[in-house]
Amino acid sequence: MGYIELNVLNQPTAPKEARALGIDLGTTHSLAAIWKDGRPQVLRVEGESALVPSVVHFPREGAVVVGQAAREQAVASPRDTLFSIKRFMGRGLADVAQELATLPYAASETERGLIQLEVHGRKYTPEQLSALVLRKVHETASRALGEPAPTRVVVTVPAYFDDTQRQATRDAARLAGLEVLRIVNEPTAASLAYGLDQRDKGAVVVYDLGGGTFDVTVLSIEEGVFRVLSTAGDTHLGGDDFDAALVGLAREEIAAAHGAEVLADPGCQQALRLACERCKIELSTAPRAEIHLVLPERRVAWRREVSRAEFEALVAPLVARTMAACAQALSDARLSTTQVDEVVLVGGSSRIPCVRARVEAFFGRKPHVELNPDEVVALGAAVQAHILVGGKRDVLLLDVTPLSLGVETMGGAVSKIIQRNSTVPCSATEGFTTYADDQTGIDFHIVQGERELAADCRSLGRFKLRGIPPMPAGMAKVGVRFHIDADGVLTVTAKEERSGASASIDVQPMHGLTDAEVESMLSSSYSHAQDDFEARRAADLAIEIGMMARAVEKNLNAARAGLDKESLLDLEEALARAKAAAEGRDAKALQKARDEFERASLPLAALLMNNVAQKALMGRSLDEV
Amino acid sequence: MGARCTTCGAALELPCACKACGALQPLAGERDPWTELGFEPAFDLDEALLRRRLLSGSRLVHPDFHGGDEAARALAEAHSARLNRAHAILADGARRADALVVLLGGPDESTSREMPREFLVEVLDWNESLEEARESRSWSDELAALSDELLERRAGELAALRALLVPAPPRGDARLALARSRLAAVRYLDRALGELEALRLAAARN
């Protein structure tokens, strides 16, 4: 099934200047498509592949090489040839330690904590490297069109990309001299390419297993509106990992046959990686295939036959992780598998037969594979580009934000302000107040993720609200407004309502999480649900004890004057115990201390109430008490 | 309603934009979610109509269709965000009831967390099972049964809410406080159900 245009006759042809490109900027390869003759078309130069490998090679002398020619340098000069750049977008060194261990690159960090890769003593950020790839894609598009391609573009990102990664993608396009009309999520774009708007109504699942990332998205389609209900995924699971499973198998056997030192050579590593990738691809069509590694200069000629069954056993845990994400996405969309009308496979790795089989078994229906899974996303981006330049108004995408957003509260917990899977654009405002008397500023720490504690979520940025007029604790009213725009990019503003003092920030990327934490931000929130729950409860209890303690301390003089000795002693002891417990993180101990403290403060509360009542009777206003 | 388009004067179906001429309307102060989507505030709601209003409203105000100048785009972003928020509230029975209680001047979530008395006894039972589930961190038929029981209970609470809120009680009516306590029960149920669902998915993962 190709893309079938709905009302061709009613579509005025867009004037030439109102055109825009759709670009799929992928982990392993990138490509462009454009709306032409009433349908989206991949831009390819006659006799060449449309896919531009997302690879950049820096020769010792001469100009930088990008794409296929760069890829061919991988074995000869592995240190100067950069692969998998997308995995580094918007990340810090600590985030990608695992990637760096398997790639022969030198890396360091910028002042802002973002990664840069070093070649011949020069430093390049992933944005700069991606910009080189985007330029190459644009140049290829121009050659294919026979005229300069539009510089207005729609660029796709994995649905599960966080704010920092989206901003980095936008920056890369800007560096390449392109104007980004929209950042679109890859699975959502894929659903557009499939022309699924032909359905008047239905629920669609897009399973997108790419080179480096996995996404699953559940959409409902009604009256030409593609509304995303939920998305789930793993920014660290893709074809590269399937290759790595074969590499692991090969390394063991090569080390046994030729000695481990052969494997230390970066050229050998790259050659082996490519050999394993070839083997994987062959296994999609043949029951058995060979990993074939020949390095004459090292006197290595190694072959190993791999059966499909052996490969499937190796990658079974990876496939299982994708199915768990499918279950999560369905649960979030409140749908069962029987309510799904269509399943679409996207991404080169969805060609693997056991992946197809598992998807079919899980959803109980044959998935759509009619369109080339490497091209679907770019085609969909071209449809969206056409919509955005005003050429098509019968289709609308309503996408969601993949991760919850919140601010850190006292005690390190997270107050969620926008829940994951909220339709974008969305805004929410939350009220905050001061914690101490005469506090004139409030610090905000913005985080993204599903975990209960801020330290376990991804830090997006910090900002300070200043100029709050001095007033007693709890009197200030600060409204913090989060707005996520249609690109999924966040802005935060804050305002003190009494004084009008305001502060705003563009959220600046921060680092501080290990990659393992980022990739599993969502899934770990479930496996850690219990720990999180306890930690959250402890943090809340500590705050409550703090507030109770301040209230009691404020009224200690009254207590000394009006309470009997025993109650006073009891109260003082409970106060000391509660404050000590508040230093700790043991929820059970905190709960016990809080309850005892509350009990011990009852006589004081009664005394204060009496005082209030008496004073009221004496005609004094309550706030004088 | 009776509101009219500030550009062409046609009657407005939704306050965000004019269906007749397509003009975005000025961003007035916060509106309740019903008004935002062209409904009269009420607990009962035609869900298919609600969805159609979201879709037709989005077609009018989504920033995809207002890319021209910066100001129009910002206005479209703001209208879309309001529309999405109003839809999210109305599409969920409990959130809808919550908004209605507040709109009718009843107690809000922060002023009352009391749960219905008969409910508290059951909570003790459920808490025991939940505590065990948390510790075992695995899925079982008992937990599936508990999950079903909580879901059934939730449906019961929503039915009780409907009985309190249809027809809408006058402002300050005692039924609003009763509805608030039912909502506290729903909150408890939703938290417990969320925990159970997380356990089920974690078990499926292994």
Interval A100-119: pLDDT, tens:
877 778 888 877 678 889 99
Pick among A396, A544, A591 to test the B interface (most B CBs inside 10 A): A396
Number of residue pairs across A and B with CB atoms under 8 Å? 85
Q: Tell me which of A153-162, A295-304, A374-383 is least confident.
A: A295-304
Residues of B (127-156) whose Cβ lies below 8 Å from A:
134-135, 137
Element (H, E) at A595: helix A587-600
Residue B174: per-residue pLDDT = 92
Asked if A172 and A89 count as a contact pair (C-beta separation under 8 A), the reply is yes
Residue A366 DSSP label: P
Mean pLDDT for A573-596 is 85
Identity of the amino acid at A149: A
Residue A295: per-residue pLDDT = 81
* Burial call B82-99: b when 16+ CB within 10 Å, e when fewer: bbbbbbbbbeebbebbbb
Give the chain B residue nearest A329 (alpha carbons). Answer: B201
Chain A residues within 8 Å of chain B (Cβ atoms):
181-182, 222-223, 225, 227, 320-321, 324, 327-328, 331, 387-390, 393, 396-398, 422-428, 483, 485-486, 523, 525-527, 529-530, 533
| A502-506 sheet: strands from edge to edge | A426-432, A478-484, A490-496, A502-506
Element (H, E) at A176: none
- The DSSP bridge partners found for residue A124 are A117
Confidence of residue A197 (pLDDT cuts 50, 70, 90): low
Mean pLDDT for A373-390 is 94
A425's tokens: 């654009």
What is this structure's pTM?
A: 0.81
> Does the pLDDT at position A17 exceed 60?
no
- The DSSP bridge partners found for residue A430 are A480
Confidence of residue A187 (pLDDT cuts 50, 70, 90): very high
Residue A200: per-residue pLDDT = 66
CA distance A108 to A193: 39
Q: Between these two residues, A510 and B163, which has the higher pLDDT value?
A: B163
Asked if A308 and A246 count as a contact pair (C-beta separation under 8 A), the reply is no
Question: Of A40-44, A233-237, A388-392, B195-199, which has the strongest mean pLDDT?
Answer: A40-44
Residue A536: per-residue pLDDT = 66
Mean pLDDT for B133-152 is 89
Identity of the amino acid at A134: L
Residue A199: per-residue pLDDT = 61
Q: Between these two residues, A304 and A543, which has the higher pLDDT value?
A: A304
Mean pLDDT for A334-357 is 95
Q: How far is CA A205 from CA A266, A347, A361, A362, in A?
A: 40, 14, 14, 12
State the nearest Cα–Cα gap between B83 and chain A, in angstroms: 9
Mean pLDDT for A582-588 is 81
A130's tokens: 């991606």
Nearest to A426 among B55, B81, B199 (CB): B81
Q: Which of A404, A413, A407 is nearest to A521 (CA)?
A: A404
Give the CA diameter of chain A.
103
Mean pLDDT for A192-203 is 75
> Does the pLDDT at position B145 exceed 70?
yes
> Which residue in the list A208, A234, A452, A517 is annotated as catalytic?
A208
Q: Do B55 and A426 touch (CB under 8 A)?
A: no
Q: Do A425 and B77 touch (CB under 8 A)?
A: yes
Q: Do B77 and A397 touch (CB under 8 A)?
A: no
For chain A, report the end-to-end CA distance as a whole number of angstroms: 78
Residue A363: per-residue pLDDT = 97
CA distance A223 to B202: 36
A255's tokens: 């080390």
Nearest to B204 among A225, A327, A389 (CB): A327
Q: How far is CA B33 from CA A604, B56, B96, B158, B164, in A?
A: 45, 16, 9, 19, 20
Half-sphere exposure of A411 (CA within 13 A, CB side): 24
Tell me, yes or no, if A544 is annotated catalytic: no
Q: Do B80 and A225 touch (CB under 8 A)?
A: no
Tell me, yes or no, if A24 is annotated catalytic: yes
Q: Do A225 and B55 touch (CB under 8 A)?
A: yes
> Does the pLDDT at position B83 exceed 90?
yes
- Output the average pLDDT for chain B: 91
- By the 10 Å C-beta count (0-12 exposed, 13-18 middle, 19+ buried), B157 is classed as buried
- By the 10 Å C-beta count (0-12 exposed, 13-18 middle, 19+ buried), A295 is classed as middle
> Does the pLDDT at position A311 exceed 60?
yes
Mean pLDDT for A532-551 is 75
> Chain A within 8 Å of B65 (Cβ-Cβ)?
yes
Give the chain A residue nearest B89 (alpha carbons). Answer: A422
Tell me, yes or no, if A506 is annotated catalytic: no
Mean pLDDT for A440-457 is 87
Asked if A35 and A383 count as a contact pair (C-beta separation under 8 A), the reply is yes
Q: Tell me which of A88-97, A441-450, A461-470, B141-150 is least confident.
A: A461-470
Residue A609: per-residue pLDDT = 67
CA distance B142 to B144: 5
A376's tokens: 């679907």
Confidence of residue A22 (pLDDT cuts 50, 70, 90): very high
> Does the pLDDT at position A616 exceed 50?
no
Which residues contact residue A292 at a Cβ distance below 8 angstroms, ignoring those fewer than 6 apart?
A275, A278, A279, A302, A303
> Does the pLDDT at position A617 exceed 50?
no
State the nearest Cα–Cα gap between A133 and chain B, in angstroms: 27
- By the 10 Å C-beta count (0-12 exposed, 13-18 middle, 19+ buried), B72 is classed as middle
State the nearest Cα–Cα gap between B87 and chain A, in angstroms: 10
Q: Between these two residues, A303 and A459, which has the higher pLDDT value?
A: A303
> Does the pLDDT at position A458 exceed 80?
yes
- The DSSP bridge partners found for residue A346 are A208
- Output the average pLDDT for chain A: 84
Asked if A67 and A29 count as a contact pair (C-beta separation under 8 A), the reply is no
Confidence of residue B157 (pLDDT cuts 50, 70, 90): very high
Outline where DSSP puts E strands in A449-571: 458-465, 478-484, 490-496, 502-506
Residue A488: per-residue pLDDT = 85
Q: Do A526 and B195 touch (CB under 8 A)?
A: no
Residue A489: per-residue pLDDT = 83
A174's tokens: 């800007």
> Does the pLDDT at position A327 exceed 70?
yes
For residue A39, count other CB atoms closer than 10 A to its CB: 18
Confidence of residue A12 (pLDDT cuts 50, 70, 90): very low
CA distance B183 to B118: 14
Q: Do A425 and B87 touch (CB under 8 A)?
A: no
* Burial call A364-394: b when 16+ CB within 10 Å, e when fewer: ebebbeebebbbbbbbbbbbbbbbbbebbee
> Chain A within 8 Å of B49 (Cβ-Cβ)?
no
Q: Which of A287, A292, A290, A325 is nearest to A309 (CA)?
A: A287
User: For residue range A24-51, what is the model confidence (pLDDT) as tens digits?
Assistant: 999 999 999 999 998 999 999 988 899 9
Q: Do B84 and A527 touch (CB under 8 A)?
A: no
* pLDDT cut 90: percent of chain A above it: 43
Which residues contact residue A53 at a Cβ distance below 8 angstroms, ignoring those fewer than 6 apart?
A28, A29, A67, A68, A70, A71
